[in-house]
């Protein structure tokens, strides 16, 4: 997650799609930026227990053509609990309750369920929900020229030159994505960019972010709507 953009049912069920979705939904929660972005990420994994915020997202194909724009909100509480809601252009909800991950497509009234360990895999979600940065990822600060070039290829960024990026490269080369970049503008989280294994790029720009907030337990519970088709995946 990359993040869902009304794919077909088969795409919803792919491990690559699940990993990218959840990766994007959880790696976004870096609350503050310090002089060294890598240290910021390490501090987040250690110190930030909850957060919420709004986002806009643009998904582009490998050739750089804009595919879809969407918006929604994220909420999380460590360990392993999160709620990822798309409001436009189509309603979708992804909930991690600590044991399972539930994905509901409102248009189809279809719920897909996977065990959390399988849904997260070796993704940023696993890293930020309690995994080891150094074990699973190679972290590096991105030079300004490189970060600006990358940002320039992402639609929807008007102030990309002011963003400082940190890159996380998975040590497992057979995973769902090639790289994850987290961007900061000053002390604040600004953007998240995921390049998946197909070459598709998903860019999220954050606003109204709050870290270390109290969230109701009900936000991380999910009951399938009446009449919904429920698909359980291993």
Q: Which ranges constitute the DSSP H helices of the chain?
A: 9-13, 15-27, 37-47, 116-120, 124-128, 133-136, 144-152
In CATH, what number is assigned to the domain containing residue 135? Answer: 2.50.20.10
105 in a structural domain? yes
- What confidence score (pLDDT) does residue 22 get? 62
61 in a structural domain? yes
Q: Which domain does 192 fall in, by range?
A: 9-209
- Give the DSSP per-residue string, 176-219: SEEEEEEEEETTEEEEEEEEETTS-EEEEEEEEEEES----GGG
Question: Residue 190 is encoded by which pair of tokens?
Answer: 């600004």
- What confidence score (pLDDT) does residue 220 get? 94
229 in a structural domain? no
Using CA atoms in the order 83, 68, 29, 181, what is the torsion angle rounded to 10 degrees?
Answer: 150
Total tally of structural domains belonging to the chain: 1
217 in a structural domain? no
pLDDT tens-digit readout, 115-156: 987 776 556 555 555 556 677 788 898 876 455 444 444 444
Report residue 29's pLDDT band, with 50, 70 and 90 as the boundaries: very low
Contacts (Cβ under 8 Å, ≥6 apart) of 143: none
Residue 78 has pLDDT above 70, yes or no: yes
Task: Tell me the average pLDDT across 182-205.
Answer: 81
Query: Which of 73-77, 89-93, 121-125, 171-175 is least confident?
Result: 121-125
43 in a structural domain? yes
- What confidence score (pLDDT) does residue 156 get? 44
228 in a structural domain? no
């Amino acid at each position: 997650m990359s993040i869902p953009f009304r794919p077909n049912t088969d795409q919803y069920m792919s491990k690559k799609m699940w990993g990218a979705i959840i990766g994007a939904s959880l790696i976004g929660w870096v609350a503050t930026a310090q002089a060294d972005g890598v240290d910021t990420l390490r501090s987040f994994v250690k110190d930030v227990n909850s957060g919420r915020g709004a986002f806009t997202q643009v998904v582009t194909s490998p050739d750089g053509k804009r595919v879809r724009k969407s918006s929604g909100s994220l909420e999380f509480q460590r360990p392993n609990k999160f709620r990822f809601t798309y409001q436009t252009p189509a309603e979708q909800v992804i909930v991690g309750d600590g044991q399972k991950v539930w994905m509901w497509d409102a248009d189809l009234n279809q719920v897909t369920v996977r065990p959390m360990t399988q849904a997260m895999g070796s993704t940023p979600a696993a890293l930020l929900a309690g995994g080891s940065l150094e074990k699973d990822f190679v972290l590096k600060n991105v030079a300004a020229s490189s970060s600006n070039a990358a940002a320039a290829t992402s639609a929807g960024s008007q102030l990309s030159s002011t963003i400082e990026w940190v890159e996380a490269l998975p040590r497992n080369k057979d995973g769902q994505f090639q790289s994850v970049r987290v961007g900061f503008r000053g002390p604040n989280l600004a953007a998240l960019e995921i390049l998946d294994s197909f070459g598709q790029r998903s860019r999220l720009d954050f606003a109204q972010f709050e870290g270390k907030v109290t969230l109701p337990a009900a936000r991380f519970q999910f009951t399938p709507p009446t009449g919904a088709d429920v698909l359980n995946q291993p």
